[in-house]
Amino acid sequence: MNIPAGLKYTREHEWVKVDGKTVTVGITDYAQGELGDIVFVELPKPGAELKVGGAFGTIEAVKAVSDIFSPVTGKVLEANTALEDDPMVINRDPYGEGWMIKAEMANDSELNNLLSPEDYKNLIG
């Protein structure tokens, strides 16, 4: 199970990479493995408002659909449009090419509520 150090995690299996005021968000290796082959991803448009804990998109596998939840409050800067044509990138490279959105944070303190790699590892047991 790949849980890179240097990232933060949510209980809903998103990862967060922090770079100043900007965060990059995707789903974890564990999440993609649980979902299986991903066939479709629906992502927000740049400029869309994000609320911490609110759904910002959906991810669809062959027999399941799940929401993707925002780890922070803020605004979408960019969505990974390459996923529209090839959503399986998420299965192949969840922490790299499979990123979903980049967003501008409104409130850094929300990062304190996220999980460390160790916490996340314990969560998924």
Partner 1 sequence: MSYIPNTDDDRHRMLEKIGADKIDDLFCAIPENLRLKNPLNLPKSLSEMELMREIEGIAARNRGNLTIFAGGGTYDHFIPTAVEVISSRPEFVTAYTPYQAEVSQGTLQVIYEFQSHICRLTGMDVANASMYDGASAAAEAAMLSAAKTGRSKILISDTVSPLFRNVIRTYLSGQKIEIVELSQHEGTTDFDLLKKRIDGDTAGIILAQPNFFGMIEDVERGGEIAHASGAHLILAIDPIAAAVLKSPAECGADIVIGEGQPLGIPLNFGGSLLGFFAVKKELIRLLPGRLAARTDDDKGNTGFVLTLQTREQHIRREKATSNICTNQALSATMATIYLSLMGKQGLKRVALLSMDKAHRAADMIFANNKYRPYFKGAFIREFVVKTPVPARELIDRAIRQNSVLPGINLGRFYHDMDDALLVAFTEKRTDDEINALARVLNEI
Strand 55-61 vs strand 38-42: parallel, antiparallel, or unpaired? antiparallel
Q: Is 63 in the site for partner 1 (CB under 8 A)?
A: yes
Q: Is 88 in the site for partner 1 (CB under 8 A)?
A: no
Options 5-13, 43-51, 57-65, 84-92: segment touching partner 1 (CB under 8 A): 57-65
Distance CA 21, CA 61 (A): 32
The three-point CA angle 117-119-121 to 5° equals: 65
The strand pairing partners of 40, in sequence order, are 60
Q: Is 104 in the site for partner 1 (CB under 8 A)?
A: no
- The residue (of 7 and 31) whose beta carbon lies closer to partner 1 is 31
Q: Which residues are at the interface with partner 1 (CB under 8 A)?
A: 40, 42, 58, 60-61, 63-65
